Copies of this chain bind each other. A is one copy, B any other.
Amino acid sequence: MDTGLPTTLDPEPRQGAQAIRRALFLLRVLAAGGESGLPLKEVVQATRLSRPTVHRIIHVLMEEGLVEHHERSGRYLIGTQVPELALARPSRSPLLAAADDILRETSQRVGDTLFLTVRTGNDTLCVDRRIGSYPIQVLSIAVGARRPLGVSSAGIAILAALPAQESRRIAATNEPRFAGYRTNRQTVLSEIADARRRGYGVREVGLVQGTKSISTWIKTAGGDPAAALTVSAVRTRLGPRREQEVVETLLKAAYEVEQKIR
């Protein structure tokens, strides 16, 4: 049992900015709300901050234009300032560039929808999507979709590729947000363990009813997970037999991307 002391390298200290960190965390939670946003209550829950604090911070962010308040629904959402700030970084990420061709090929070969998902803080973020040729496609997850690490197969894959200690930490941090996705810390941890054993992540019961997803991870030269590559399809299309085929294709594609980004 340790007493809560300096762990390894850079245990991310640097204090004197509680408020700023909270505000940014709030922004990320709101980002998860996407275009439709979230009611205050949900932000409070996901955040574990007191309601007055959340309220105050959100309103400051509103005055600053980073958050907007939808009158009719009373929901809060990411404001226009954010994309404006983003214009300062016009260049495309190396990952997206590297993955472009490979995604195209792989999606053709597989026939089902392919997703490229990165980790951002304690969330997963879908950054690219390719639609396959098969007539039934899982389209419910859009580019920009963001969810807590652990609730999607991509999240499981990324957590599995992280050091055990960190994945546990993240699972604990995200715990309050799991409820909204009908899962919990126990399940997540065992899914991660399964994924480590198998070499890829699976979610039999996808976020969308009747779908199934398979994810492999892509690591950087340094060994950190850079992204996950996911195939989603209606469950019946991913029986044990085809699961093996798809996994092989995914692993190969992931490997190719890894080579390209080094």
A positions within 8 Å CB-CB of B: 12, 14, 16-17, 19-21, 23-24, 27-28, 30-35, 56-57, 59-61, 63-66, 77-91, 93, 118, 120-121, 125, 127, 142-144, 146
Nearest opposing residue in chain B for A28, CB measure: B85
21 cross-chain CB contacts under 8 A: A12-B63, A14-B56, A17-B19, A17-B60, A20-B61, A21-B60, A21-B64, A27-B85, A31-B87, A35-B89, A64-B121, A80-B89, A81-B121, A82-B85, A82-B88, A83-B89, A85-B86, A87-B127, A87-B143, A87-B144, A90-B144
Give the complex CA separation of A125 and B57 in angstroms. 25
Partner among B28, B32, B65 whose Cβ is within 8 Å of the Cβ of A120: B65
* With A64-B24, A81-B121, A84-B125 as contacts: A90 and B143 at CB distance below 8 Å: yes
Give the complex CA separation of A17 and B120 in angstroms. 25
- Enumerate the 6 nearest inter-chain pairs by beta-carbon distance, A residue then B residue, closest first: A87-B144, A86-B86, A31-B88, A17-B60, A83-B86, A78-B88
* Most B-side CB within 10 Å, residue of A34, A64, A66, A80: A64
Residues of B within 8 A of A31 (CB): 84-85, 87-88
Give the complex CA separation of A172 and B86 in angstroms. 26
Give the complex CA separation of A77 and B16 in angstroms. 21
Give the complex CA separation of A241 and B109 in angstroms. 62
Partner among B59, B82, B83, B90 whose Cβ is within 8 Å of the Cβ of A35: B90
B90 contacts A82, C-beta separation under 8 Å: no
B82 contacts A78, C-beta separation under 8 Å: no
A89 → chain B, closest Cβ, in Å? 5
A20 contacts B144, C-beta separation under 8 Å: no
Give the complex CA separation of A85 and B91 in angstroms. 16
